[in-house]
Structure 1
Amino acid sequence: MAARASLLQLIILSLTILSLFSLSASLPTESILNAVETLSNAGYVVMSLTLQVSSEAVLTSQCRSATVFAPPDYSFSRSGQPSLSLLRYHFSPLALSVDSLKSLPYGTKIPTLSAGKSLTVTSFASDDRISLNDVKLSRWPIYDDGSLVIFGIESFLNPEFTSTIQIRNPSFDVGCVVVNDYPNTLSKGFMFGEASETLRARGYSVMAAFLDLQLLGFIGQPKLTVFAPVDEVMVNRAGDIPDYPSLFLRHVVPCKLSWIDMVNVNQGTELQTYLEGFGMNVTRSSDLFMVNGVQITFPDMYYSDWLVVHGLPEILPVPSTPEHEGSDPDDNKTDDKFPKASIATSKPKS
């Protein structure tokens, strides 16, 4: 009876994925048009026109998320129309919420769409306003639809900014351990409802449905990080019902890793996931973080004292085995058994 109910849940999930086939692989035009209108209504008329005219030149076709830092009209009047390079410096390829920005310590680097240039967090936890490059942000986003976020700023951001305060990053112990024999503690209040709602609102409905299925209902230590692929890349897996457990488990690690935790993780750290034999390799390039080569585009989408969810633009592929060499890695079938005890290891810095 229980097996039949689980199968029914998986079929319902498959139908959920199929319903998402119309989603775009980049920021939808509707998001940009809505943002243009909202900016204009909020008094950021010049930035509204700038976004409308130059969005195609700034945002690439692969940009599935972005945060825009919008200067006020008087900054444009004083400085004139910015160069394309300066304009790109005001766009980050990450969707950054207020909570995510507030959690970042002084000195954290935020990548931008201007090649090789990053923004620097210049506010402390005790400050009442977030600042980047010593420029204060609006307290709340002007626009936020889950994939495109826009904050107002007091003036243009300076690409040549350098901080005079030196911050030492603390050493960090990953401590990711998958335990085999554990009691079920989810019934004591560790539920995924709030996280699922957040994922659905942000365009990650399929991973929200996986959480609702309680595929991790056996865990005993509720410290988790979920790396959630966005809906539009999940539609290709709609018919692979037997692979759903494998698909979900390989995107979950048994420890809580916020964005700032990842800043302090050594380059090349290997994290074990809940899929036996499948690991995540954490790397960093130009202040962007990647797991198995897939960029994290929505850091700290959801954050609690026991669960963190980061958004991904792609599914983490299963590596090819010798007998499957040359085939699509995602077509390789893997063992969906629950994992045995395993520990994350960290490769030394070179």
Structure 2
Amino acid sequence: MASSLLVSFLLLSFLSFASPLPSDTILDAAEILSDSGFVSMALTLEIVSQTLTVQSPSLTIFAPNDAAFSQAGQPSLSLLQFHFCPIPLPLESLKLLSTGTKIPTLLSGHSLIVTSSPSSDQISLNNVKITGGSPIYDDGSMIIFGIEDFFDPNFGLPVPIGSPRSTPRCGSSSTNGSMDFPGVSWFEGASAALRSNGHSVMASFLDLQLEGFKEPTMMTIFAPVDQSMVNPMKNVSVFLRHVVPCKLLWNDLVNFDDGTVLPTYSNGFTITVTRSDSVLMLNGVPVFFPNMYFSDPLVVHGLNEVLAVQEKPKEMAELFYWTGEDGDQMLLGNDEF
């Protein structure tokens, strides 16, 4: 379990960015990339360094080889962001990550997925192999690995490009805190995903809901990491505050307008969707692991913080939106459910 939580612990350690990487580091890395046969990525790193590297004081960069650049052409800025991880990941740490572990990137809402096992001699992310037996560059703050092709940002997404996205349907949230949970098989999958990604406290809360199953329903769980949960057992309502009575995939969330309000199973507590510099925020907290787990009735998204109560007029706290099949939104009051 410790190896499964490695990425979450590392990222939390680097959330408070102190300063960008020094320019000397970028120049040294670019020179070594070029000398190692990654000329296209070396030139690209120099060009985008002022744009991408200022976002973090440390990075792991996955560099496609020159053949990949020749075939795909010059990548977009967003595609390059998908190849930059905001934490240093030594080779030894990558080897410890279990299959399915998600690695954050600078592309908002997109994570790399480990597709190799710790017992494998070859490490792969998004089914793309890391080449060579060691990093191309490693000074502790910046680590660069060679890869045989560009990563696909759509790898592992539940809704392929061109297919219909699910229609979110938010029903009423229970006033007494009871919930109709999906089938046990879906529950077990969600609980396992939570535990393997550093959300054991929320998984434990989910375990406690096994008693009293009713008819299956749809729901979305926004799960804070364990480190953000202070004395969680003294405030069991924290679980209900992070569960929405409808299925909302990442593609659904990013298409909501700013100010959209979602109901929860905690009576009177709502979640407001906003954006800050294009980053999707829920009550001011960004989604860290989109689509951590998803099944027919259930979706789990990971958060770095607990959702806090938002300051708003009482009458606004009693309203939320519902999205119909045609995509139109309707503002509803709690008394309409």
TM-score (norm 2): 0.51
Give the conservation status (yes or no) of the 8 Å contact 1:251–1:316.
yes
- Cα distance in 2 for partners of 1:76, 1:70 equals 10
Q: Deviations over 1:66-89 (max 9, x none)?
A: 996541266699xxxx9x999656
Q: CA RMSD in A?
A: 5.6
- Cα distance in 1 for partners of 2:221, 2:125 equals 29
TM superposition shift of 1:311: 0.7
- In structure 1, which of residues 168, 171, 175 is the aligned counterpart of residue 170 of structure 2? 175
TM superposition shift of 1:93: 6.7
- Cα distance in 1 for partners of 2:67, 2:310 equals 53
SS of residue in 1 equivalent to 2:13: coil
Q: Letter of the 1:206 partner, please give it.
A: V
TM superposition shift of 1:176: 3.8
Give the conservation status (yes or no) of the 8 Å contact 1:204–1:231.
yes
Q: Deviations over 1:104-162 (max 9, x none)?
A: xxxxxxx9748xx999xxxxxxxxxxxxxxxxx9752658xxxxxx99463599xxxxx
Structure 2 residues not aligned, in runs of 5+: 1-5, 16-35, 43-48, 88-98, 111-123, 131-144, 153-160, 324-328, 332-337
Larger relative contact order, structure 1 or 2 (CA cutoff 8 Å, min sep 6): 1
User: Percentage identity across aligned positions?
Assistant: 41
The 5 Å alignment of 1:211-290 reads: 211-214=206-209, 217=212, 220-234=215-229, 237-238=230-231, 241-243=233-235, 245-290=236-281
Q: Letter of the 2:233 partner, please give it.
A: I
SS of residue in 2 equivalent to 1:247: helix
Q: Which moved more, 1:203-212 or 1:268-277?
A: 203-212
1:90 lines up with 2:83 in the alignment: yes
Match of 2:188 in 1: 193
Alignment size in residue pairs: 236
TM superposition shift of 1:268: 1.6
TM-score (norm 1): 0.49
- Cα distance in 2 for partners of 1:151, 1:216 equals 49
SS of residue in 2 equivalent to 1:196: helix
- Cα distance in 2 for partners of 1:247, 1:189 equals 22
Structure 1 residues not aligned, in runs of 5+: 1-19, 29-43, 102-110, 120-136, 144-149, 158-165, 323-340
- Cα distance in 1 for partners of 2:300, 2:280 equals 14
Match of 2:127 in 1: 140
- Cα distance in 1 for partners of 2:257, 2:182 equals 35
- Cα distance in 2 for partners of 1:138, 1:312 equals 22
- Cα distance in 1 for partners of 2:215, 2:37 equals 53
1:318 lines up with 2:314 in the alignment: no
The 5 Å alignment of 1:4-43 reads: 23=9, 25-26=12-13
